[in-house]
Each structure stands twice: as C-alpha cells, then as structure tokens.
A and B are shown apart, each in its own frame.
Chain A
Amino acid sequence: MAVCIAVIAKENYPLYIRSVPTQNELKFHYTVHTSLDVVEEKISAVGKSLGDQRELYLGLLYPTEDYKMFRKLHNSFTDVMCNPFHNPGDTIQSKAFDGIVSGMMVQTG
C-alpha cells in the first residue's frame, strides 16, 4: 500500500501528487523530489550496461514498492493522456485517475 503517489512530467514538475494526510506531508513532497535524483542515476547507469534492464519500471528505488501498482498507475496515466480534453502539461484532474490512486493508498480512518 502506498502512502504517497506522484506523477512527474518530463520537465520535472508534478502533474499529480497525493499523500495520506499526516503531519509530515511536506516530507513526502521532498522525498518525491529527491527520488528523482535516484531515477536519474538509474537511467544513466542503464545507458552504460548493455541493454540488460530495459524495463520501464526501474525496480525498487527503496524496498517498499510494488510492480503491479506501477503497472496500474501507468495504465491509468495512458488513459489520461488519451483523453482529448486533457492538455499534456496540465495537472491531472481526472476522477478515474483519483479513484485508482485512492485504491492504492494506505487507508486511514
């Protein structure tokens, strides 16, 4: 289960970010930002090794993630992109996307 889910555009700004409401939401936002550095590291590493890991999913950045979750998220992201009323680069405001994300977040009372 996720505590925070974010979709980052290729220009490095968030298209969508949601976290479980706790006191340190800001901490999650910072974590998302720092994880971008890890992603970049992994990508440049992959460029050097001979095309071994060519998956879109870069594997566990830190050992708490789930591949199935990523697939579901990527699929709903693709659906959002194909929505003719959505302009790429805008924040994501789709209810369906929200629904999928809620299903993945940690449930708090």
Chain B
Amino acid sequence: MSVPVRMADEAPFQFLHNEVIHYIYKSAENGETENGKNITKLENMGFRVGQGLIERLTKDTARFKDELDIMKFICKDFWTCVFKKQIDNLRTNHQGIYVLQDNKFRLLSQLSAGKQYLEHAPKYLAFTCGLVRGALSNLGVKSIVTAEVSVMPACKTHITCPSSDQRHSHKD
C-alpha cells in the first residue's frame, strides 16, 4: 500500500500557517516582536503535529535499517507529503549531522525573493523545524533541528543527532 497523499490541499495549510504566525506574534505579552518565546511556541506546535503525522505515514512502511534510512525517508516521503516536493540535496558527515537543502521552500515562496523579508524568514521555518523534530522523535531519534535561509526561497535544515557521535553509550 502506498503512502496516503490524500492530505488537505497546500493552500489552506499555507494560509493557516501564516495566520498562526501572525496570531502568535500579535498576542505576545508585551508586544515584543523578536521574542524567542514565539519561535519556541511555533516549534512546539510543529513537534506535536510531526509526532502524529509520522505515525500515520509509517504505518505501512518497512522497519528502517538505520538513521540514514530514516533521513532519506524524511527527505522523500515525508517532505513530499507536507510540501508536495522532495528535498533537493541531503548531506551528512556520517556522525550525526545532516543538512537538508530545499531550493524552493514552499512556505517561503510566497514571500519576496529579495532581501526585504530575510529577517522574518525564521518565523516561517520554526514550525517546520518542530515538524521534523517531532517526526524523528517518534521514530526513536532524539535530535536538534534548526534552519537557516541565506537566499530566499532556499532553505537549509540542519539536523543534529547527539547520540550518533558516541559509541553506543547506554544511558538508562
């Protein structure tokens, strides 16, 4: 059975995502706009969604061989399900660090391609970082996920898996 792609259309999700960001910043306590708390809220939302989403997506897939296998799944099936396209480039140092490059990140493509909104880009990446972190979490991989934008609308997602650097240290 193939992965169900009958998820809601792209446009409603993008509109909703934009509204969520707008709402969170509007209702920030002292009207502070550059508050780390807002980014954290967005990331946590994405985390919970990622957890549920990955359960649905991997219901019928085979067990993953290793971490790299999991990352490839994220780059292909997971990214396709959420953004209707795959990750353009995956790089790793085979020691727990992965860089996922999306040259035309869907959630940024509606913003101007110049430098005008570059400083606001992190707001639009927070939810997606949480999404990836939540998905990995329910696959048993603890990770730290950050994203950076140097040229709109290309986006690089950095995934760091701390437990992969150490040699099988079992911490109970």
Contact = CB atoms under 8 A, between A and B. Distances in A.
Which of the four size classes fits the interface of chain A?
A: 10 to 19
Among B51, B52, B62, the one with the most A-chain Cβ atoms within 10 Å of its Cβ is: B52
A10 interface: yes
A74 B60 CA distance: 10
Given A51-B65, A88-B51, A78 B59 contact: yes
Which of the four size classes fits the interface of chain B?
A: 10 to 19
Contacts of B62: 54-56
B60 to A, nearest CB: 8
B55 A81 contact: yes
A51 B66 CA distance: 10
A46 B63 contact: yes
Interface of B: 48, 51-53, 55-56, 59, 62-63, 65, 138, 140
Interface of A: 10, 46, 51, 54-56, 74-75, 77-78, 81-84, 88
